[in-house]
Structure 1
Amino acid sequence: METRVLSYFLMVAKTNNITKAAEQLHITQPTLSRQIMDLEKELNIKLFNRENRRLQLTKAGILFQQRATTMLQLLRQTENDLHQQTAELTGEISLGSAVSNASPYMAKLIYKFQQKYPHVSFNLFDGDGDILRRQLDEGINDLVCMLEPVEAAKYNFLELPVREEWGLLMNKDASLANHQHITKEDLYKLPLILPYRSIVRDEVSDILKLDQTRLNVRATTSLPGNSIALLRNSNYYALTIKGVYDNFHDPRLTFVSLTPNKSTGDVLAWRKNTILSPAIERFLQFVNEEVQES
């Protein structure tokens, strides 16, 4: 079965008319009709219902249309990837990242990578862990940088040389702003803003042996921007990572760590069983080399 014939079939399926499809393909109508009939004979199945000079896909034809489209897309992608193996590296990489200390680390790596490969561009996205996972699963992002834990059954990942310290972010005028550490007994007395992701709340609670039913939760947030706005104008306290404080550099706020100390690692993750472009593969190799050197 030739790829040329697959293209012929898809054009006929698109137009539902042999004559129109032949015009689009710049071949004669008898030649196209013969190619489609030969294809049906080769597959030993009827792909079109022919009524009143109009063609309609059969159920088998609809399935074959989906598979033929996928086959041609994979072939074109393979051809592009093969050319990139010998030509100068080009392409786009979509990278999502949580707001954390990993953000400036990855920014430095992107800059350093583009010094070597200036024709590779990046599409950058922000999000919390749930958003990033969904974007990764849907193919919106090729790679995501997020906090542990990671579902090892679904994703490959590189551990980054970055740790995130947990604590409370608060207004500098807050009553606990001068404390060295925050205890779980302190947490029970405070109006809190917590992370939206329950898996994060549970992990911190396990470390501190917290009874979450005793917490005074005023709000939850997926991204830090909204909690920052609340903290500037209230006596609320946000349970978050120090990376948020480091990224925003707001002089009106301060960060106090928890005791016992709780820290979380950052990872760069991508989907398993996915064909990666040469640009993505080279970037992952580059990141791994940088991590090993660290």
Structure 2
Amino acid sequence: MNLRSLRYFAAISQAKSITKAAEKLHIAQPAVSRQIQNLEEEIGVRLMNRSRAGIKLTGAGEFLLQRVLPLLVELDQAKETLSQQANAEVQDLVIGLTTGEGLTVASTLISGWNQQFPAAKIRIFEGLAPTIYAGLKDGSIDIGVVPEPLPYTDIWTKPLFEEPIVFIAPKEDVDSGMPFRSLDNLDVPSALSLPIILPSSPNPLRTSIGEIADIYHVTLNVALELDSMSIIKDLVRRGNAYAFTTYAHLTNELEHDLLRVVEMPKQVFKRNISLFGLLQNDHLAPDSPAVAFIEELILNTVKDGRWPGAKLL
């Protein structure tokens, strides 16, 4: 007899319907029915009768319900008390975000954190992945949300989801000396051979594009190294070169039709977004309440479709 089957039994008893109980529990109906069947087999008695009119408990079912409901209430109260105690121990948090991640999730993190941990403050730091790592090392940042790969050996990482890397180009010919190029049927070697602007190493995007170039045996045509995605996008828009980025960085450009965006083969042009922190920071281990809550908030933005192009791992 497990807690899950007892919760399902109580939910069905109160809803008087397996279908309604399954909807309330956000569980598929067959899974709920299977749990009740297993419970009845384990106890050895029928707990409910099913008919078109709904569910009616047997005498044994009524007996069990009277004892299960107070137990579930006490367990929920104990869980809430323990959660409050854990939350009370949570300290202020400084979280590092890269630009695209910051634009997408900062508001969600701030509002969610303030509601869950009103006694602890949250502060957002925006910067490149190497800068966020440096902040972890000097103690000015607690955890980071950054794209992988990360070249550091003294960190833990929690992969959250993957997002596609896309190719961006100017909308039309401009006074830059670079002719307008049709991007219809653009293949990977051609895209990698065009003059592109990339961040400098060890930026994760630079690492990813370099690894893809190695796969296709192409020498990158790096027109410029620049560690600012906002300036990279502006230079591309003005026709100075091409670039690679992700949809999280292109919200404004897509809304105002400022750039051409070409999707590349997603099985190759993708990257993981991960939480990361220092191994030596015991206060913010991967399973700590603060980290678990930040993870939940970010994953919810993916589930709700608020992180453009993202896919859960």
Scaled by the length of structure 2, the TM-score of the pair is 0.55
Deviations 1:230-262 (A, max 9, x none): 122224101222322136555311321223641
Contact 1:192 1:217 in 2 (8 A): yes
d(CA) in 2 for partners of 1:139, 1:274: 10
Does residue 1:254 correspond to 2:249, yes or no? no
Does residue 1:191 correspond to 2:190, yes or no? no
Which residue of structure 2 aligns with residue 238 of structure 1? 243
- Give the stretch that moved more between structures: 219-228 or 116-125: 116-125
Q: Which has the larger radius of gyration?
A: 1
The amino acid of 2:158's aligned partner reads L
Q: CA deviation at 1:268?
A: 0.9
Deviations 1:16-42 (A, max 9, x none): xxxxxxxxxxxxxxxxxxxxxxxxxxx
The amino acid of 2:157's aligned partner reads F
Contact 1:193 1:238 in 2 (8 A): yes
d(CA) in 1 for partners of 2:277, 2:151: 11
Secondary structure of 1:119's partner? Answer: coil
Contact 2:101 2:146 in 1 (8 A): no
Of 265, 269, 273, 2:276 maps to 269
Secondary structure of 1:238's partner? Answer: strand
Secondary structure of 2:166's partner? Answer: strand
Secondary structure of 1:125's partner? Answer: strand
Residues 186 and 108 from structure 1, CA distance in 2 versus in 1: closer, same or farther, beyond 3 angstroms? Answer: same
Contact 2:149 2:208 in 1 (8 A): no
Q: Where does 1:121-140 land on structure 2 (aligned, <5 Å)?
A: 121-140=121-140
Which residue of structure 2 aligns with residue 70 of structure 1? none
- Give the stretch that moved more between structures: 103-112 or 115-124: 103-112
Contact 1:182 1:256 in 2 (8 A): no
Q: Where does 1:19-38 land on structure 2 (aligned, <5 Å)?
A: none
Deviations 1:62-107 (A, max 9, x none): xxxxxxxxxxxxxxxxxxxxxx958956742111111235752454
Q: CA deviation at 1:182?
A: 4.4
Contact 1:147 1:264 in 2 (8 A): yes
Of 145, 161, 184, 1:179 maps to 184
Residues 192 and 277 from structure 1, CA distance in 2 versus in 1: closer, same or farther, beyond 3 angstroms? Answer: closer
Matched pairs, number:
207
The amino acid of 2:264's aligned partner reads L
| Over 6 Å off, 4+ runs | none
Secondary structure of 2:168's partner? Answer: strand
Q: CA deviation at 1:142?
A: 0.4
Contact 1:195 1:220 in 2 (8 A): yes
d(CA) in 2 for partners of 1:86, 1:267: 24
Does residue 1:170 correspond to 2:177, yes or no? no
Does residue 1:207 correspond to 2:212, yes or no? yes
Which residue of structure 1 aligns with residue 49 of structure 2? none
Secondary structure of 1:231's partner? Answer: helix
Structure 1: tracts of 5 or more residues without a match = 1-83
d(CA) in 1 for partners of 2:158, 2:182: 36
d(CA) in 1 for partners of 2:181, 2:87: 59
Percent of residue pairs identical: 20
d(CA) in 2 for partners of 1:169, 1:160: 25
Contact 1:171 1:177 in 2 (8 A): no
d(CA) in 1 for partners of 2:87, 2:216: 56
Contact 1:155 1:271 in 2 (8 A): yes
Secondary structure of 2:140's partner? Answer: coil
The amino acid of 1:197's aligned partner reads S
Q: CA deviation at 1:112?
A: 1.9
Q: CA deviation at 1:212?
A: 5.6
d(CA) in 1 for partners of 2:191, 2:97: 31
d(CA) in 1 for partners of 2:142, 2:159: 17
Contact 1:191 1:236 in 2 (8 A): yes
d(CA) in 2 for partners of 1:247, 1:276: 37
Deviations 1:99-144 (A, max 9, x none): 2357524542432232222232222111222111111111121011
Contact 1:242 1:255 in 2 (8 A): no
Contact 1:182 1:257 in 2 (8 A): no
The amino acid of 2:98's aligned partner reads A
Structure 2: tracts of 5 or more residues without a match = 1-83, 174-179, 304-313
Residues 102 and 115 from structure 1, CA distance in 2 versus in 1: closer, same or farther, beyond 3 angstroms? Answer: same
